[in-house]
Every structure is written in C-alpha cells, then in structure tokens.
Structure 1
Amino acid sequence: MSEIIRGGQFLVKETKCEDIFTPEDFTEEQLMMRDSVKEFADKELWAHKDKFEKKDYAYTEASMRKAGEMGFLGIAVPEAYGGLGMGFVDTCLVCDYISGATGSFSTAFGAHTGIGTMPITLYGNEEQKLKYVPKLASGEWFGAYCLTEPGAGSDANSGKTKAVLTEDGKTYLITGQKMWISNAGFCSVFIVFARIGDDKNITGFIVENDSANGISMGEEEHKLGIRASSTRQVFFNETKVPVGNMLSERGNGFKIAMNSLNVGRIKLAAACLDAQRRVTSGAVKYANERVQFNTAIAQFGAVRYKLAEMATSTYAGESATYRAAKAIEDRINARFAEGNSHQEAELKGVEEFAIECSILKVAVSEDVQNCADEGIQIFGGMGFSEDTPMESAWRDARIARIYEGTNEINRMLSVGMLIKKAMKGHVDLLGPASKVQEELMGIPSFDTPDFTELFAEEKAIVINLKKAFLMVAGGAVQKFGPDLDSHQQLLMAAADMLIEVYMAESTILRTEKLAKREGEDKVQEQIAMAKLYLYKAVDIVNQKGKESIISFAEGDEQRMMLMGLRRFTKYTNMPNVVALRETITSKLVAENDYCF
C-alpha cells in the first residue's frame, strides 16, 4: 500500500487503482459476514415487508433484538465493551447489507448503532462505557439521539433545551423539547444535547429513559416512508441527570454532534446501496416477466435505458463508498500505530475524510431515490401499488436526502471543508489551481494523445474535470474570499462538480483494478458502466461549471474560463453511450439480477 492520502487530496493527487479498496477485495471473513447479514435481511426483514408497511413497531423492535443476538449491533464496538471490534470496512459492509430490505429497520439500526451507541463509545469515560455500551451492543438496551428541536434543525447548536445544575452540585435538571427522535418508542437510553447557562455550545448527556423522571413523549409520527421506524417527540421536564452522566466535557456537545454526523454520512451512503441492488434486481425480473405487444418489456430500448442507468449508479455508489471506507480504516489504523487511543483514532480517522463522507451522502442518497423512481416507472401502474416493493422503496428512500444534514447543507460543507483544509495547508489547492490558471493562458496542445490502454482517455478526462473544479473554486475564492459562504448557489454548483469527480474516478479505478485481475474480456459490462458514468459526469461538470463561471466572472475573464471549461470537458473519442447501455442491460437481462 502506498502512502495514505489525506481527505480531499483525491482532487490534487493521482490515485492508482492498486491503492484503492473495492468490493471485489472483500476477505473470506467479510464475505461470510456479508452472506450472514443478507440471510438475516431476507428472512427476518424482506419476507415481512408488510409488517413494516403496516407500522408494526413491535416487529421492528423484535427484529432489532434478533440483530443484537447475532452480534450485528456490536460490529464497531470494541471487544472490551461487548462488541466484535471489527474494522471500518466491516462496519460499512454490515450497514450496507442489513439496510436494503426496509427503510424502517435501516433507520432503527442506524440510529441505534450510530448516533445512539457511538457517542458513548467514542466520547464516554471508562465508567460510562462499561455501564452502557455492553447492553447497547447486545441489543438488551436500545439507544436514541436527541438533538433536533422545533427551532433547531440544520442549525444544531441553536437548541433551547436547558440543563440547570442543582444547588448540591450533584444533578442537572434538563428541560426542553426534542423532535424527530428515531427509536424513541422503545429506547432505553437517550443521548441528549442541552445548553448549560449561557454557554456558546451545547453539552451532551446520557439520559436513561424513565417516564417517572420527567420524560414524556408525543404520539408516533405518521411519515411518508420508514413507517415502522418509531419516531416521536420527546419532552424533558426537569429530568434529573447525575453530573457523572455528562458526555465528554461541558460545551463539547456540538463537536460530538458534528463528528457523529460525519460517521453517519458514510454509513448512510452504505445503507442505500443494497436498497439500490434490490430495486434494480426487482426491476430486471419484472421487465423479463412483463409481456407487452408479445414481447418482454426488457427488450424495449426505453426500458433497457433505465436498467442500465440504475445498475450504473449502484455500481458507482459501491465503488466510491468502499474506497472511502478503506481510506478511513487505513487512517484509523495508522493513528493506532502512532499510539492514539481507540477514541482518538476513530474520531480523527473519520474526521480526516469528512469531505468524502459528505460527497457520498449526497451522491448515493440521490441515486437511490432516482433508482426507486425508475423502478416504479418500469413496473408502470403496478409500481404505484403497495403490492409491489417499488412503492415502499421510493417512499423510504426520500428521507435519505434529509438525514445526517440535508443534501444542500452537505453540498456546501464539502466545498467549505475543502477550502478550510487548503487554508490550513492540509491540501495544496493553491499550487494546482495556479497551474490551471497558467494552462488557461497558454496555447493548448493540438497533438492527438495515445489512448490505446484501457481507461487512458477516461483517466485523462478525470484529471481535466479536476482542473475544471480547481478553476471554478479558485476563481470563486479570489472573487469572494471569506464571503464565499454567502454565495450558496455557487457553492452548490461547485459541490456537484466535486461530487462527480470523486464518483467517476472511484468507478474507473475500481473497474481498472478488476480488469487487471480478471482480464478485460471478463468485465466488459463493468467497463461499460465506468465509461457511462463518466460520460454523464462530464455533462454535469460542464453544466455546473458554466453556471458557476457566469455567476461571478465577467468580460475577458469569463470568456477565458468558459473556453477552459470547454477544453476540460472535451472527449477525443466520444463513447457510444447507447452501445454502452446495451452492453450493461444485456448482462442484467441474461442474469435476471443485479449481478456486479
């Protein structure tokens, strides 16, 4: 393995295919874990979808207990606290395959293992960890996370819930209202965020669920999707919390909340992957069975187009998610080797790749929604019926764009964090951006490059897409400086460029690695998906780049940048995307499954 790159450096450093982790690199143990999780999901969740759609909260709780008995709730928990102590890739793997059957269980699982358990594992003191984590890891107890308030959603630090120290200094009295609390109906422990006095930042507390201690709840929320996920308002009325149950230090709550979200973002991306696989497989099977005009609809070009696009976005999501998961795991392990504690290594390892976590959260949550939407369309009128799995998949997918910070927030965060990293010297954006400026002033080469090797042109295009982003981001920073934050439409357009670079590069690198291992002739469909994804990415970078440049540049500067954008989004050999889609769909239809 080469030097471990830092988060965000994918933009300015070349990554070789040998240096990334792909789903084809799973170990025997990981494949066994995957199969065990898939069996659980098929038997306990997919086979009982009707219970989840009929708001059977008790069945969600029972399924969570079974998941606990099988060890799935303790994958990321250290062995010292009753967990399996497995690596970050394993954590994402379990999250991926346990989440695709139903969004209701996926939400309960994610809320419990992530924001319900992880803050204690990573921020709790030894006494707190020994008291709470083993019960949470086994499924004896369940966790919930109380951050959001009626007036504090994306602005998490503006919460009004108060924590007042009693005169004897032994207890905090917490009073306030929390909303959209997943697992509230059956949890044993809340992670509650409240403000002490006039503190600038909120503080975290571990609060045991006890109605006799001033805790009451609203009725179950009736939601568009994730219907059997327990979601309630929680009211605290002078709820007594021992001072020993403060999580980390006073005023550290905002940091806990933000770091929990970083981990949650990549896990949310992982949680969308198997949903996409199941939707794509379901659509392929239906298209093969459904006959119109004496022909299976899988033979119609309009349907084949959709199937190819659904498979491609699924494959791209897998490629990027597992690439980032392994990068995080490598960073965690490197910090362990340097003598960091488990807490420090995990927190800093994930924090290092916060940009990639935001990118993945946006890209995969939007892809799963589009995938489910096309799934409904392939089913036609039947897709609109509750009797088919497409309808619930579409509703369940919708929340993913809101969870863990809305996609709009995450778009702005990804670019904002990258610029902050550059200012701290963690990622050299200035040097590469200056070189792009010089290139724009120079005379372009008219030589015809040699693109005989697999992906030679595609990798050259990815380098150019990076230049397009650097040109736009560099120009925007020069123009607006510290006021860039207030230009949200520009930030969002730049973020879309950044997202497409990471997703397209990850897909190409995965496929190049696979082709070297298996031989190009064996992976023609994966090659087609990588080329198809890049083709669409180039279009998006061109469109968003144009929108960005026109918003802040004028006259000669604008003309020069638009000319540069055309140069950076140009193919020498334009791919035949209809033929690429045909290659992909032929394999799907023949295998009657998402088979990659």
Structure 2
Amino acid sequence: MSTETINKEILRGGQFLVKETPCEDIFTPEDFSEEQKMMKESVKEFVDREIWPHKERFEAKDYKLTEEVMRKAGELGLLGIAVPEKYDGLGMGFVTTMLVCDYISGATGSIATAFGAHTGIGTMPITLYGTEEQRQKYVPKLATGEWFGAYCLTEPGAGSDANSGKTKAVLSDDGKYYSLSGQKMWISNAGFCDVMIVFARIEDDKNITGFIVENDPENGISMGEEEKKLGIHSSSTRQVFFNETKVPVENMLAGRGEGFKIAMNALNVGRIKLAAACLDAQRRVIWKATEYANDRVQFKTPIAKFGAIKSKLAEMATNVFVGESASYRAAKNIEDRISIRESQGNSHQEAELKGVEEYAIECSILKVAVSEDIQNCSDEGIQIFGGMGFSADTPMEAAWRDARISRIYEGTNEINRMLAVGMLVKKAMKGHVDLLNPAQEVAKELMGIPSFDTPDFSETLSEEKAMVAKLKKVFLMVAGSAVQKFGPDLEQHQQLLLASADILIEIYMAESAILRAEKTSKNNGANAEYQVAMAKLYLYHAVDIVTQKAKEGIVSFAEGDEQKMMLVGLKRFTKYQNMPNVVALRNKIAEKVTAENTYPF
C-alpha cells in the first residue's frame, strides 16, 4: 500500500454525502502515471487500427470480426489487465483496468459489449470466487484470449429479479456431476464462447448456484439464432439451452446457494466498468460532431459558429468531463480500499470483492449517469449532423443505437436508481454511514432562523462547493423525512426512491467535477479555466434537477405546515448568491472544443 494511500482519509462508500472531501484526496485523469498514459495510447492505437476503420463491417453483423479483434486484444494482454500475473494476466490496478475498458470501448458498442462480457462477468467470477484448481484451469486461457467467456444469468422469466431463475441443477446418483436443464437468454459472446458461468437452482434452494460450464454441443448445449437487435450488431447475442448438461461437481463456483451473491458482486464491477465504457464513446461522438460542425457551412458560416451548435458541443463536452471525473474518482477509491484490505492480510480475491462491494452505491450512480450521458451525446451528435445524422453512412446513427443498451444491461437504470438509495439506507442502518445525525441537524436548521451573513466566495469554486454542501442537505431533508415516515416500507414507494436517487446522482457527479477542477486549478494545470467552466455549467443544471426532484418527493409524502417548511428549506438550499452566466460558460467551452476540433480536456 502506498504512502499516499496511508496518509489520506479513504471515505467509505456513500460517505461522500455526509463528509467533505478535500480536492487533494481525489484521483483525476490528470493523475495518470506514465505507465497508465502509455497504456492509454497503446489501447487507442489498437482501436484506431483494428476497430475504427471497420465500423461498416461491425454494423453489417460481422461476428467473426468481433471474435478476431477480441483474439488480437488477448494477444496484446488487454483481456488480462485485471487478472493476477500468476494466471497469465498483467495484474494491473483497478484504475488501469478502468482506463483500458474506457478506451477500448469507444469505437463500437459491439466490441465494448464483447470485451466487457468477457473480461468482467465472464472471467472475474472465476478469478474472484473460483478454487485454486478452477483458476489454474480456466483463467489463463481466458486472460490470453485462447478461450472466451460468457455469463448465463438472464432467463425469459428472470431479468431484474435475477434470483427467480428456473434453470435446474440435479445431482447425479453417484454424486459426481450435476445435470443442468433450462433456458438462458440475451447471452453476450454466446456464439463464440468456450466457457460459461451458468446459474441454476439446486432442488428448492432459496438462492441460485453458480457453475463453470464448458461449451460442448455434444453435452446437451444448444444455441438459438443470433438475436436481431437495435444496436451492438456484431456482439454475438443468443439464447442458450441446457438439456441435462453434465457439469462435474468440482465445477460448482463458490458454494451451494451462493450464486446470487456472485451475480450481484459481478454486477457491481460491471456497473462501474460500463460507465467507463461509455466515456470514449462520447469523446468520439464529440470529435466527429465537431469536425462536421467546423466543415459544414450554412448561411456562409461554419455551423460551429452558431450559438445553437455551441450550446450542444459545450453540454456534450461537459458531460464527458464530469463522467471522467466521477468514474476515476470512484475507481481510485476502490483501488485504495483493495490495497488497505490486502495490507490487512486479505487475499487479493477477497480484497477486490470487498473493495468493489464497499462502493456499490457509487457503481450504481455511475452506471446510471454515464449511460444516460452517452445516449444524450449521441442524440445531439445526430442533431448536429442534421439530415446526414440520420443516415447510416455517418457514425452518429450507429453510436445512438449502440448507446441504447447501456441503460438496460448491468441492471436497468431504474433498478440501479432504487438500489443506490436502498443501499445507502442499509449502510446507515448498519452504522457505516451516519445519515441520522446530519439529517437531524438539517431538520434543526429548517426550524431555525436563516443566516443573513454574506459568505466569502473569493476562492475558485468556493460558491460551487458551498452549493454542493447545500444540495446534500436537500437529500438529507427529503430522504430523512421519507425514511422516518415510511420506515422499512420505503422500498414500496418507487417514484419517491427514483426522485431521491436523482438528487444523490447529481450531488456525486457535480462534486466530482468541482473537486477535479479545483485540484487542477491549484496545480496550475492545463485547461484549468475550462474545467472550472464545465464544473460550473454542470452544477447549474444539477441545481435545477435537484430542485425539481425534491419538490416531486416532498409533495408526495408531506402535507400542510411540514410541506411548506420543507419547500421553504428547499428554496434556501438551492439559492445561488452569484448566478453563473450559462451562455458565457457554454461559449467558452465550445470555442475550445471547436478550436481543437475534438474533445480536448
């Protein structure tokens, strides 16, 4: 564990809501090591050589090309970034694994999906939950791309309710193998996988069990045709049928009934990696949209000069800046937590499991926020291209279709919103995050007389940091009152949970951007003034969203004087002293983007 890790306070998952984070304590893309910068350039070069020039083939459902690219990625070691060296991986830290996932995923959603399914949910369950014998047998082949992995969880009747699967596992009379029978659907990499993580139920167990299953058609395994999908056209997606497929008992993953735990923890990793996978996709949309806007002349003027286009480019760039800030902040928190656990004697596997699980709230937040940003970014990309954007001859149409799946897999965004708030409340009940005392302080503040002192906001982003602190009070006011009113029945009030989640998401994303911009400013880093502009622009929108969602929540459960008091408090907690000039901020950001002809931050 590094001295840096020892010397700074590592907040537990969810504690960002109730504790202040010094900007010096967060990790940002500006902090990439030389090794990480070299890795980023290596991945970008691979993508620009092997993927980007062949976009038409990916759109034409060239599944073989996906397999070939994946094999080449394996030869370069890119499939084994997160795998320990003893299993033929590179054993890189969590931040580096995020970085590789980020930059390999931007050119096409087909490779993004194949890569994520293989390295994440296809390989990591064995790496983290497998016995030493299982790891030695399977992980080296998966790390090098000799074999490819798939993950069989979803069934026709078991989607978001993953533990309700009906696939059965029956132990043989001699106790040597299980016979698996059932149907799985939406299985990524199914068409070329060699090994699958399959979840099935033994007898009437409450929870499902995981198995490592080799793909052998002569062992009762058959596939449906490739699914016809809106996007990710060259991502192999098939149904998989098991008909008394024999699986040796030694291929059970972890223990009996532990499959649901494996599935949930695999999804935590998948969620933050999905956020990373949506970042370079945004950068590439911005790059092509900016090129087009600079080249396209209307009314004798490049459309990049028009305010309407400047607004779009500025918002697109701001969202990817914020997504980067939050994703790498959380990734470094996870990496540090893994280091701490390893220093305390945990195995690498246990340390990584617990490290990611600690930040499951942040993983869900990121999954929602960044997957929605790529959808909005690609949509605006089409709009900038105008009629040409609707044509499959330009990259925007495919980017928009590929983006759509991101809001569905790794748990729908609705599920992840409710999970984020639900997990936070559970952490509070366990004493891991103190929400009660801060919520009580906010309640007292609402009853008291507001201060009329004018605060000193002379330092860079000081008002923005103060505003984030007030937005946290909004969440504590709304969620605290809701928990007090509904108790354990809160989970039945889904629309209230969704509104609370949106407040939580905006707080984390806005704070991450502000802290990154503040850190860059203090270090006199490149682009500091633009980072400050983007942090301010994002916060301006966040305040509006928080105001709207808090009103929606308050009026859903509070009445009379209580409602009036909370609405007055909401107005107090969302009031700027100095409202930013949003048009000027957008123009500043857009002019930098168009001058560089790409996303330059």
TM-score bracket, normalised by the shorter chain, equals over 0.9
Map of 2:591 onto structure 1: 586
User: What is residue 214 of structure 2 aligned with on the other side?
Assistant: 208
Is residue 93 of structure 2 the alignment partner of residue 87 of structure 1? yes
- Which of 234, 238, 261 aligns to 1:232? It is 238
Q: Give 1:525 shift.
A: 1.4
**Aligned-partner residue type, residue 416 of structure 1:** G
Give the counterpart letter for 1:570 in structure 2: K
8 Å CA contact 1:102–1:226 kept in 2: the answer is: yes
1:569 matched residue in structure 2 = 574
- Looking at structure 2, the residues matched to 519 and 200 of structure 1 have their Cα atoms a distance apart, in angstroms, of 54
Distance 1:356 1:165, change over 3 A: same
Deviations 1:307-336 (A, max 9, x none): 000000010000000000000000000000
1:87-236 correspondence runs (5 A): 87-236=93-242
Question: 1:274 matched to which residue of 2?
Answer: 280
Deviations 1:491-513 (A, max 9, x none): 00000000000000000000000
1:542-581 deviation per Cα after TM superposition (whole angstroms, max 9, x unaligned): 0000000000000000000000000110000000000000
Matched, 1:414 2:434: no
- Structure 2: which amino acid aligns with 1:311? A
Aligned partner of residue 550 in structure 1, secondary structure: helix
Instruction: Supply the distance in 2 between the matched residues of 1:343 and 1:585 (Cα, whole angstroms).
Output: 44
Compute the TM-score of the two structures, normalised by the length of structure 2.
Answer: 0.99
Q: How far is the alpha carbon of 1:448 from its aligned partner? A: 1.0
Secondary structure at 1:185 match in 2: helix
What pairs with 1:380-399 in structure 2 (closer than 5 Å)? 380-399=386-405
Aligned residues: 595
The offset of 1:117, in angstroms, is: 0.3
| Amino acid paired to 2:419 | L
Letter in 1 for 2:258: N
Check conservation: 1:269, 1:364, Cα contact below 8 A. Answer: yes
Q: Which amino acid in 2 is paired with 1:251?
A: G
Where 1:518 maps in the other structure, the secondary structure is coil
| SS at 2:186 equivalent | strand
CA separation in 2, counterparts of 1:360 and 1:432? 24
- What is the TM-score of this pair, normalised by structure 1? 0.99
Question: 1:400, 1:515 → 2: CA distance?
Answer: 33
Contact 1:162 1:174 in 2 (8 A): yes
1:375-399 Cα shifts (integer Å, max 9, x gaps): 0000000000011000000000000
Instruction: Give CA deviations for 1:380-439 in whole Å, capped at 9, x if unaligned.
Output: 000000110000000000000001000000000000000000000000000100000000
- Aligned partners of 1:3 and 1:291: how far apart in 2? 53
Which of 536, 545, 549 pairs up with 1:540? 545
Aligned twin of 2:506: 500
Corresponding residue for residue 352 of structure 1: 358
**1:250-290, CA deviations, whole angstroms, 9 ceiling, x for partnerless residues?**
00000000000000000000000000000011111110000
Instruction: Give a deviation string over 1:286-307, Cα, whole Å, max 9, x none.
Output: 1000000100000111111000
1:560 alignment counterpart: 565
Counterpart mapping for 1:296-315 below 5 A: 296-315=302-321
Counterpart for residue 526 of structure 1: 531
Q: Unaligned regions of 5+ residues in structure 2, if any?
A: 1-6
Q: Deviations over 1:165-197 (max 9, x none)?
A: 000000100000000000000000010000000
Aligned mates of 2:383, 2:76 — CA distance in 1? 37
2:346 is matched with: 340
Structure 1 residue aligned with 2:516: 510
User: Per-residue deviation at 1:123?
Assistant: 0.3
- 1:249/1:301 Cα in 2 relative to 1: closer, same or farther (>3 Å)? same
Local SS of the residue matching 2:533:
helix
Residues of 2 paired with 1:165 and 1:448: CA distance? 72
Q: Which residue of 2 is the match for residue 285 of structure 1?
A: 291
The AA in structure 2 aligned to 1:8 is G
Tell me, in whole angstroms, the C-alpha distance in 2 between the residues paired with 1:275 and 1:426: 36
| 2:3 corresponding residue in structure 1 | none
1:345-400 C-alpha deviation (Å, 9 max, x unpaired)? 00000000000000000000000000000000000000000110000000000000
Counterpart of 2:19 in 1: which secondary structure?
coil
- What's the counterpart of residue 264 of structure 1? 270
CA distance in 1, matches of 2:522, 2:289: 31
Which digits, 9 at most, give the CA deviation of each residue in 1:429-484, with x for residues without a partner? Answer: 00100000000000001111111110110000000000000000001001100000
- Structure 2 distance, partners of 1:325, 1:233, is 33
SS at the partner of 1:232?
strand
Partner Cα distance (2:143, 2:271) in 1: 21
Structure 2 CA distance for aligned equivalents of residues 339 and 583 of structure 1 = 50
Residue identity matched to 1:547: E
1:245 is aligned to: 251
Q: Tell me, what secondary structure is at the counterpart of 1:35? A: helix
SS class of match (2:200): strand
RMSD of equivalent CA atoms: 0.6
Question: Deviation at 1:115?
Answer: 0.4
Counterpart residue number, 1:491: 497
Q: Aligned partner of 1:409: which letter? A: I
Shift of the alpha carbon at 1:209? 0.2
Classify the secondary structure of the residue corresponding to 2:278.
helix
What SS is found at the alignment partner of 1:151?
coil
For residues 525 and 585 of structure 2, the distance between their equivalents in structure 1, rounded to whole angstroms, comes to 18
Unpaired runs of 5+ residues, structure 1, are none
Q: 1:100 touches 1:274 (CA, 8 Å); kept in 2?
A: yes
Give 1:524 shift.
1.6
2:240 counterpart SS class: strand
Deviations 1:61-85 (A, max 9, x none): 0000000000000000001111000
The one-letter code sitting in structure 2 at the alignment partner of 1:324 is: A
Whole-angstrom CA distance in 2 between matches of 1:537 and 1:164: 52
Aligned twin of 2:407: 401
- The Cα of 1:523 is off from its aligned counterpart by 2.1
Inter-partner Cα distance in structure 1 for 2:248 and 2:421: 41
- Give the C-alpha shift of residue 519 in structure 1: 5.8
- Per-residue CA deviation, residues 229-256 of structure 1 (Å, 9 max, x unaligned), is 0000000000000000000000000000
CA distance in 1, matches of 2:485, 2:394: 52
Instruction: Give the match for residue 451 of structure 2.
Output: 445
Paired residue type of 1:526: Q
Tell me the SS of whatever aligns to 2:409. Answer: coil
Identity %: 78
Distance 1:49 1:373 in 2: 19
Paired residue type of 2:550: G
Matched letter for residue 72 of structure 1: L
Query: Counterpart amino acid of 2:133?
Result: E
Tell whether the 8 Å contact from 1:524 to 1:583 is kept in structure 2 after alignment. no
Question: How many Å separate the matches in 1 of 2:528 and 2:432?
Answer: 37
Which residue of the partner structure matches residue 370 of structure 1?
376
Give the counterpart of 1:328 among 317, 334, 340: 334
Whole-angstrom distance in 2 between the partners of 1:464 and 1:210: 58
Give the 4+ runs in structure 1 shifted more than 2 A.
none
Residue 41 of structure 2 is matched in structure 1 by 35
